[in-house]
């Protein structure tokens, strides 16, 4: 069972919710897909860490073999190649690693080389297997890391996917195989705008989904109003309180510290499990 | 000397386009013969890498200088690799910029932006 946790902006509570849901399950996998700034590991402090480098393939040119036919340049719809003063030039960060230019080169002047863009760290934190995707600073896209992170997940285990913020390609890849999406929302007008972004995304992908309202306070909650208007099921509410904030700011897993929070997330996990089985 | 300028229309009265990679047309202008040719920018609707493709068009037309208000880093890399001088336009008038170029009054474009790459800038 794969459950993705997403929101339209950072700091909404994706990590709080995915970390604590994963810790509430008897046995689970937590996957941090926020590869530009992964932070779930700060809470889990996993042990026995194994690292695996992630690389992508980009073309490289043997200038002696190139006859200037430009088949590679015409083929590349991402325009990752240019032909300047009798030699092709490759823009690695524009390349999508499709390998087409190498296939089309009649002179075999192009070949593929691997460049490392980041790594995946896996470790154990009590009942949770923790997988962390890390994109190296300056790299343009973390999607190859996310594809690899989500490739080897077990179907029969609870898997929680902590998504990157927003609704761009990198989030689409993170939720692609999810059985259920949890939309995390803040109780502000800006929060509604961000909630709508991810709501439109999960609708587009036809994913079963529900909302968790985070940082709930007394008075009107614009995100709650939005959920009622759009008929989005509210599966949980998390209060805006100092005790929770203090534990979280100390990078502690709430459910491992306090029975009140254990009960809160256990019942949220039950609701999510039921929703997935419907 | 041959120069290229991104323009919004196929006319000498057209304004200079704010974008190099996504401009609809280019003016290729010969400062000796005063000959002008307008080219369609095939990169205008590119999914990505518009700057690279647009720069390729400029390079293939064997110009000596490019006059543009702005230029992204990938396009600038292509332009510079082809030894084309990169100048900053002074306003949106084609005539003013050609005159300024002829009088040696244009300065080099030093500020290269990181490109927008489909995300509306950062």
ipTM of the modeled complex: 0.84
Q: In this structure, what CATH number is given to the domain that contains residue B45?
A: 3.30.420.130
Q: What pLDDT is stored for residue B116 in this prediction? A: 64
Q: Quickly state the pLDDT bin for A10 (edges 50, 70, 90).
A: very high
Same domain, A91 and A179: no
Q: What pLDDT is stored for residue B122 in this prediction? A: 33
- Rounded to an integer, the average pLDDT of A84-103 is 92
Same domain, A35 and A173: yes
Instruction: Please provide the size of chain A in residues.
Output: 278
HSE (side-chain half, CA atoms, 13 Å) at A219: 5
Instruction: Identify which of B46, B56, B83 has the shortest CB distance to residue A82.
Output: B56
Give the model confidence (pLDDT) of B94-121 as tens digits: 999 999 999 999 999 988 887 765 544 3
Which residues form the domain of B68?
2-102
Cβ-proximal residues to A231 (8 Å cutoff; 6+ apart), any chain: none
CB atoms B83 and A85 under 8 Å: yes
CB atoms A80 and B59 under 8 Å: no
Instruction: Identify which of A85, A89, A91 has the shortest CB distance to residue B49.
Output: A91
Transcribe A115-149 into DSSP letters.
EEEEEEEEEEETTEEEEEEEEPTT-S--HHHHHHH
Residue the block writes with tokens 């940082």: A215
Measured from the Cβ of residue A116, the count of other Cβ atoms closer than 10 Å reads 11
Structural domain count, chain B: 1
Give the model confidence (pLDDT) of A37-78 as tens digits: 999 999 999 999 999 999 999 999 999 999 999 999 999 999
Instruction: Identify which of B49, B59, B119 has the shortest CB distance to residue A78.
Output: B49
CB atoms B78 and A84 under 8 Å: yes
Same domain, A136 and A210: yes
Same domain, A182 and A243: yes
Give the model confidence (pLDDT) of A161-172 as tens digits: 999 999 999 999
What is the residue-averaged pLDDT of chain A? 95
Which residues form the domain of A259?
2-54+117-277
Tell me the chain B residues in contact with residue A73 when contact means C-beta distances shorter than 8 Å. 56
Tell me the chain A residues in contact with residue B79 when contact means C-beta distances shorter than 8 Å. none
Same domain, A98 and A169: no
| Coil, helix or strand at residue A8 | coil
Q: Quickly state the pLDDT bin for A173 (edges 50, 70, 90).
A: very high
Q: In this structure, what CATH number is given to the domain that contains residue A67?
A: 3.30.70.20
In a domain, B121, yes or no: no
What pTM did the predictor assign?
A: 0.79
- Rounded to an integer, the average pLDDT of A109-123 is 96
A80 in contact with B, Cβ within 8 Å: yes
In a domain, B108, yes or no: no
CA distance A75 to chain B (A): 12
């Amino acid at each position: 069972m794969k459950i993705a946790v997403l929101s339209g902006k950072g700091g909404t509570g994706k990590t709080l919710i995915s970390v604590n849901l994963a810790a509430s399950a008897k046995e689970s996998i937590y996957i941090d897909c926020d590869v530009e700034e992964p932070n779930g590991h700060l809470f889990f402090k996993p042990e026995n860490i194994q690292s695996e480098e992630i690389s992508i393939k980009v073309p490289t040119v043997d200038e002696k073999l190139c006859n200037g036919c430009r088949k590679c340049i015409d083929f590349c719809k991402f325009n990752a190649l240019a032909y300047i003063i009798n030699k092709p030039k490759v823009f690695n960060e524009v390349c999508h690693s499709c390998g087409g230019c190498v296939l089309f080169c009649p002179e075999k002047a192009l070949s593929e080389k691997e460049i490392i863009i980041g790594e995946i760290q896996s470790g154990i934190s009590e009942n949770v297997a923790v997988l962390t995707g890390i994109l190296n600073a300056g790299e343009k896209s973390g999607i190859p890391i996310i594809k690899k992170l989500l490739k080897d997940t077990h179907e029969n285990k609870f898997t929680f996917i902590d998504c990157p913020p927003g609704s761009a390609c990198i989030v689409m890849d993170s939720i692609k195989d999810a059985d259920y999406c949890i939309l995390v929302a803040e109780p502000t007008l800006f929060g509604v705008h961000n909630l709508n972004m991810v709501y439109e995304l999960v609708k587009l992908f036809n994913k079963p989904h529900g909302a968790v309202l985070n940082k709930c306070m007394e008075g009107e909650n614009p995100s709650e109003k939005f959920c009622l208007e759009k008929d989005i099921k509210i599966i949980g509410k998390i209060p805006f309180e100092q005790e929770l904030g203090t534990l979280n700011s100390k990078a502690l897993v709430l459910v491992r510290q306090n029975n009140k929070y254990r009960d809160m997330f256990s019942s949220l996990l039950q609701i999510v499990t039921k929703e997935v089985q419907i | 000397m041959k120069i290229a300028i991104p323009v919004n229309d196929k006319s000498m009265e057209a304004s200079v386009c704010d974008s190099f990679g996504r401009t609809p047309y280019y003016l290729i202008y010969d400062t000796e013969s005063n000959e002008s040719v307008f080219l369609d920018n095939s990169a205008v609707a590119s999914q990505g890498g518009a700057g690279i493709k647009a720069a390729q068009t400029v390079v293939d037309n064997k110009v000596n200088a490019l006059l543009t208000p702005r230029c992204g880093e990938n396009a600038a890399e292509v332009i510079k690799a082809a030894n084309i001088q990169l100048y900053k336009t002074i306003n949106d008038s084609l005539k003013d910029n050609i005159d300024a170029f002829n009088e040696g009054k244009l300065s080099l474009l030093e500020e290269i932006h990181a490109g927008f790459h489909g995300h509306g800038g950062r």
